[in-house]
Structure 1
């Protein structure tokens, strides 16, 4: 019998050696990537790194030049309507549907999924999930930015997808709208999520794992802590001792601070231990991995 732990590890995305060539150049150059059932993976990278192209291949909207790709066990180039019904897609923005009322729109879309997904979300259930119950009869065009983004997620979730794609989900959001959106995603424990973002804090908050894509290649893949450990090396320790400021780089900050206080006790003041942030790690990876211009 397969345990719950085993099921949680089943891959919903498997990519090996993915290449996409435009003319003489590989914009995606040998990407390997996996996403497990129920896992949230963030794909980070500078503009032109190949993030959007990679996602389009996984969604079945773009053909690859080489490599092996399986999404929900199917080659995306051969995915049929039943396969597509198992995917959810949330783009950067939707500009249609303005005259629809929120509940009517979700009910209509649910009916389109029904032949393929017998467990499709009911409109009221979905409205409760994304926090729009009080706006069920509102026209889409009058929703606030944060409310509209909640609706975007609801549209992506209508078919109760096994895998949800999020493309730059909070671009242009104010802090409150971003927080609301994150709360919605926090309720999707059963759905695997692959998101692209330039927001490093968002990636660190939402993702179980982060893959960094530079010049068409995955140059790092792991949790934020694992990436920091790979790049950071020493930890910076700052403190004041007898009025004098000290700044040191140490390999083991825990041992150093313990010994510092054992020797000097309360004479140590303004202690600060700074480990590499995700931003530090990301910038270091990009600098190391970007090709040198001729």
Structure 2
């Protein structure tokens, strides 16, 4: 569904190191949202990536497309989604599809696929301040998700000032970062494994040098392949346990045979000594 806005719940359902997550829904497009003369910022163009991030002004509508005029003087006919999709989502998507195709052709040991979650960035004005809200598709399955573009996570939430604490939840302000005082200490970051490398390690494949780090993406492991690997591991463990028990039984049987042989030899020696003593007495 094409959308030009988002409404979300006030109560968050999850909390990350730098933001809160709220469930919400995208709002359908309306003529009022993209009124003639309103200013927008173009992003997510596949055929003309040089226009990504360029400011534009809506000058008309052609059916389901909006006619916009860029600051460069050019005019484009755009879908409303072209005004919202982050460029990374558009640029990295074909790379993920190509990667999945090669994995299928070459029949790699670890069968997994990469898919970019559809996401949108909405600009809004909250309490007189311009904000940006990131909306992602909610995942309802088992996924390994890349945390952020730096590959790090923190032990605790970063320190929040009184001004930031009063801001609405679920809103990410894209402003110049405030300078921290020299005496302010931040928690040390902890290295988090890259999602791609983590998936390869889980599948038992040696990590490769790869940099597939868009701002938002997730990697889904093929669960059936993972189950087969776990089943093979359990079978190997059971086989190793059976072999160990067999070796123990064989060792105990060997010890029993040696003990019985020693007893027989001792009895034979004892019987032989008794016979010689009787002969001497006679």
Which structure has more helix as a fraction of its residues? 1
Larger RCO, structure (CA 8 Å, separation 6 or more): 1
Same-fold call, TM cutoff 0.5? no
Which structure has more strand as a fraction of its residues? 1
TM-score, normalising length from structure 1?
0.25
TM-score, normalising length from structure 2?
0.26
